[in-house]
């Protein structure tokens, strides 16, 4: 029997879904071969169409770990939903009970892969690119909530035609990382996919390559069993640069009759989903494409400058991990920098090209892949193509402007000063500073070096470095705009909104997911609470626990200083 409370929950859920419709499956083409392929849960080639219908594979006896309170509020979702069986089932992958107005439709999409601007087919088991795409991400719902369309996607919800022989699952470890990082990024005021819920199960384990305890190995040494989990992430769309590329490549090669049409459809759909406020519907196709390139360039360059502002390294910034809406997507091989190093890269599979300070160039490469995908739609219009290429060639200039502007703000300056910046970077490298603590302490606008030393990983012994720091600080203080105590306070407040105090450090994450594996979610909740207020001072107790440098004995330790497996 349904009690009163329970009924109310179902009503709330009904209210939420009554607004849903299916933009993706109604407006785009499905895989024409889907019906002949049974449940679509094994690797196969998908030759055309924008999506494949595939039912999620539920995790058994789902255990609730967390949800994003902030995001629930933004969506107008009641916390009561978390007690609704329907809600829990849907977001742990069980669609068997879905009733109207929700449709029992779920889908995965194909995409292509370029690594650092180079087209790859080798990652596809068929070597054609037709078997690459969402291997474990399945969208289950689109809903218009407060006039904004959101797509709800389960990560780790089982195999799809793009699973490439893998299990289609995400483990608890990587799911906790993604769940927390997404909401952290949002609280850092950086565009991102969002976290809705996180469920795990003790009924299914999968194996992943990992390290022995306290190992220094760069390569995984053992296979470990980990509990599975499903995070639901939510975004305005999950269209990636790689997805445009898939259709761009097919159109370029004229692979089938509708190839160019399918490219045009996905591009117009992208504009509809991500750029409808910036690009007028009345424009001609080529005008829309030119505006799209401009807008995406603007968003992508801002995004990367922001990542560097807060010390975020994506780690695997391939075209398939680059959201065409210009926000952060795929928190697998990511890390927040601790000890400053321009070449910082925590993912062993990533390489220097995806390292911290190389992200603007990785973004440029993704932008080029994006442009190449759209070109088949402009090939008959020379003028439009020329204008388009001008935008393409302007990327580095725009990126540089955004970076300089970001550095100026990070340093509390009105204008970027090359010399001051370069001196600082060299000093930060020579001194080994904690990136977050250094800029936060600088935001207090200190008179001398003493408080900045809090961010140094080694005691300052070298007199020469001391002299360099003192002179740097003196020049910096002469360039910032402070006349009196009041203007100093004002600048300090301003700088603290640019330079976060709390950042999701990997060794905190490790403790949280290790405890969670034993059924204790206290640290997950604590991190969620603290990391969604990254610019706040917070309490003394929190400061002592989380505003601290990485402990010396954790340097070089596998699984903390570097990770091998992001899935
Ligand atoms: N366990 C798995 N089962 C099936 N496919 C997988 C699995 N792990 C990764 N993949 C697929 O391999 C490709 C590369 O993985 P990558 O780590 O970039 O993405 P991801 O973290 O799974 O997903 P996303 O980019 O959707 O956040 C993706 O297409 C992904 O779907
Ligand atoms: Mg990915």
Domain identity same for 255 and 180 = no
Largest CA distance in the chain: 78
Return the active site residues.
320
Both tokens of residue 100? 């109207």
The whole domain housing 136 covers 4-238
Nearest CA to ligand 1 atom 19: 330
ipTM: 0.99
Could you tell me if 8 and 22 are in contact, meaning their C-beta atoms sit under 8 angstroms apart?
no
Domain identity same for 162 and 109 = yes
Task: Determine the pLDDT at residue 2.
Answer: 42
Residue list for the binding site for ATP = 133, 135-136, 155, 167-168, 233, 240, 330
Q: How many structural domains comprise the chain?
A: 3
**Residue of 177, 230, 366, 567 to mutate, ligand 1, most atoms within 8 A of C-beta:** 567
CA 409 to ligand 1 center in whole angstroms: 36
Task: Determine the pLDDT at residue 4.
Answer: 47
Residue 321 CA, closest ligand 1 atom number: 25
The closest ligand to the CA of 155 turns out to be 1
Nearest CA to ligand 1 atom 6: 135
CA 454 to ligand 2 center in whole angstroms: 37
CA 453 to chain centre: 32
Domain identity same for 117 and 48 = yes
pLDDT in tens, 194-224: 999 999 999 999 999 999 999 999 999 999 9
Residue ending a domain, choose from 340, 366, 395? 395
Task: Determine the pLDDT at residue 481.
Answer: 87
Contacts of 330 (CB under 8 A, 6+ apart): 314, 316, 321
CA 248 to chain centre: 24
In a domain, residue 327? The reply is: yes
Domain identity same for 247 and 313 = yes
CA 135 to ligand 1 center in whole angstroms: 6
Domain identity same for 149 and 174 = yes
In a domain, residue 152? The reply is: yes
CA 155 to ligand 1 center in whole angstroms: 9
Three-state SS for 77? coil
Domain identity same for 197 and 338 = no
Residue 162 CA, closest ligand 1 atom number: 5
Residue 316 CA, closest ligand 1 atom number: 18
Domain identity same for 207 and 261 = no
Nearest CA to ligand 1 atom 8: 567
CA 187 to ligand 1 center in whole angstroms: 25
Domain identity same for 233 and 250 = no
In a domain, residue 520? The reply is: no
Residue list for the binding site for Mg(2+) = 321, 330
Residue ending a domain, choose from 188, 216, 238? 238
In a domain, residue 50? The reply is: yes
In a domain, residue 297? The reply is: yes
Residue 168 CA, closest ligand 1 atom number: 3
Domain identity same for 234 and 247 = no
**Residue of 135, 179, 325 to mutate, ligand 1, most atoms within 8 A of C-beta:** 135
Residue ending a domain, choose from 238, 254, 272? 238
pLDDT under 70: residue ranges of the chain: 1-20
Residue given tokens 């291997």 in the structure block? 135
Element (H, E) at 277: none
* Residues with a CB atom less than 6 Å from ligand 1: 133-137, 163-164, 166-169, 316, 321, 330, 332, 566-567
Task: Determine the pLDDT at residue 13.
Answer: 65
In a domain, residue 387? The reply is: yes
Closest by Cα among 396, 376, 496 to 436? 496
Helix axes 359-374, 395-410, angle to 10 degrees: 150
CA 366 to ligand 2 center in whole angstroms: 14
Domain identity same for 25 and 165 = yes
In a domain, residue 517? The reply is: no
Task: Determine the pLDDT at residue 21.
Answer: 77
The closest ligand to the CA of 347 turns out to be 1
Domain identity same for 384 and 452 = no
Q: Which whole-number Å values give the CA distances from 206 to 173, 235, 334, 520, in the listed order?
A: 12, 27, 22, 20
Going by their DSSP bridges, the two strands 170-171 and 222-235 should be labelled as antiparallel
Residue 318 CA, closest ligand 1 atom number: 18
In a domain, residue 561? The reply is: no
Torsion, Cα of 351, 353, 355, 358 (10° steps): 170
Domain identity same for 274 and 174 = no
């Amino acid at each position: 029997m349904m009690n009163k409370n329970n009924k109310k929950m179902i009503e709330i859920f009904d209210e939420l879904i009554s607004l849903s419709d299916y933009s993706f499956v109604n407006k785009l083409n499905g895989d024409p071969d889907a019906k002949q392929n049974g449940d679509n849960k094994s690797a196969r080639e998908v030759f055309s169409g924008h999506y494949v219908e595939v039912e999620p594979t539920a995790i058994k006896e789902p255990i609730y770990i967390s949800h994003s309170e902030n995001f629930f509020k933004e969506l107008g979702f009641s916390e009561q939903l978390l007690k609704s069986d329907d809600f829990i089932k849907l977001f742990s992958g069980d669609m068997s009970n879905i009733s109207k107005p929700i449709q029992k439709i779920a889908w995965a999409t194909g995409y292509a892969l370029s690594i650092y601007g180079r087209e790859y087919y080798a990652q596809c088991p068929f070597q054609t690119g037709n078997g690459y795409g969402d291997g474990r991400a399945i969208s289950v719902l689109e809903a218009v909530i407060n006039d904004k369309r959101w797509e709800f996607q389960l990560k780790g919800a089982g195999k799809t035609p793009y699973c490439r022989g893998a299990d289609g699952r995400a483990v608890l470890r990587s799911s906790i990382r993604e769940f927390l990082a997404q909401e952290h990024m949002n609280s850092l005021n950086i565009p991102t996919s969002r976290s809705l819920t996180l469920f795990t199960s003790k009924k299914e384990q999968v194996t992943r390559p990992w390290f022995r305890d306290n190992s220094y190995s760069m390569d995984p040494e053992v296979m470990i069993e980990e509990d599975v989990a499903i995070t639901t992430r939510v975004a305005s769309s999950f269209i990636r640069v790689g997805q445009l590329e898939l259709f761009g490549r097919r159109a370029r090669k004229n692979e089938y009759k509708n190839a160019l049409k399918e490219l045009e459809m996905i591009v117009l759909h992208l504009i509809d989903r991500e750029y409808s406020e910036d690009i007028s519907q009345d424009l001609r196709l080529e005008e829309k494409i030119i505006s799209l390139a401009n807008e995406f360039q603007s968003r992508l360059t801002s995004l990367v400058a922001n990542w560097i502002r807060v010390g975020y390294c994506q780690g695997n910034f391939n075209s398939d991990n680059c959201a065409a809406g210009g926000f952060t997507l795929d928190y697998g091989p990511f890390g927040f920098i601790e000890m400053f190093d321009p070449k910082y890269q925590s993912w062993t599979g990533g390489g220097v090209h995806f390292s911290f300070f190389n992200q603007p160039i990785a973004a440029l490469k993704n932008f080029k892949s994006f442009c190449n995908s759209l070109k088949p739609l402009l090939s008959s219009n020379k003028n439009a193509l020329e204008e388009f290429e001008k935008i393409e060639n302007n990327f580095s200039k725009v990126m540089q402007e955004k970076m300089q502007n970001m550095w100026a703000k990070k340093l509390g300056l009105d204008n970027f000063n090359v010399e001051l910046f370069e001196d600082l970077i060299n000093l930060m490298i020579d001194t080994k500073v904690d990136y977050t603590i250094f800029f936060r302490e600088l935001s207090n606008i200190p008179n001398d070096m003493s408080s900045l030393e809090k961010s140094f990983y080694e005691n300052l012994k070298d007199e020469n470095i001391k002299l360099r720091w003192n002179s740097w600080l003196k020049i910096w203080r002469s360039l910032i705009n402070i006349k009196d105590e009041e203007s100093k306070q004002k600048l300090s407040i301003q700088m603290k909104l640019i330079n976060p105090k709390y950042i999701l450090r990997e060794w905190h994450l490790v403790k949280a997911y290790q405890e969670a594996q034993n059924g204790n979610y206290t640290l997950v909740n604590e991190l969620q609470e603290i990391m969604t207020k990254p610019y706040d001072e917070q309490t003394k107790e929190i400061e002592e626990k989380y505003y601290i440098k990485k402990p010396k004995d954790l340097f070089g330790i596998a699984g903390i200083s570097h990770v091998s497996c992001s899935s």
